[in-house]
Amino acid sequence: MSGSDIHQMPRTEKLRLMEELWADLSRDEVELESPAWHEAALIETQQRLANGQEQILDWEQAKAELRKRTK
């Protein structure tokens, strides 16, 4: 399947394919190893949160904030 094949698919079919791919990829968690930088980024975020330098947003708030930054 090529990129142009995917581009031509209806949105519902793209979403179905994406869900199937994710289900397949996440089936065996042992093979899903996070990169080393990911742990460091999580530790930094935890430290900022503990120091009051990080704000927790729910998903809808986070999406709205990201949209504002990209305009």
Domain residue ranges in the chain: 3-28+36-69
Rounded to 5°, the CA angle 25-64-60 comes to 60
Helix then strand then coil, % of the chain, to nearest 5: 70, 0, 30
Q: Is the dihedral of CA 50, 56, 62, 65 positive or negative?
A: negative
* pTM of the complete model beyond 0.75: no
pLDDT tens column, 3-55: 889 999 999 999 999 999 988 888 876 667 788 999 999 999 999 999 999 98
What would the two tokens of residue 29 be? 């968690």
The gap from C-alpha 62 to its chain's centroid, in whole angstroms, comes to 12
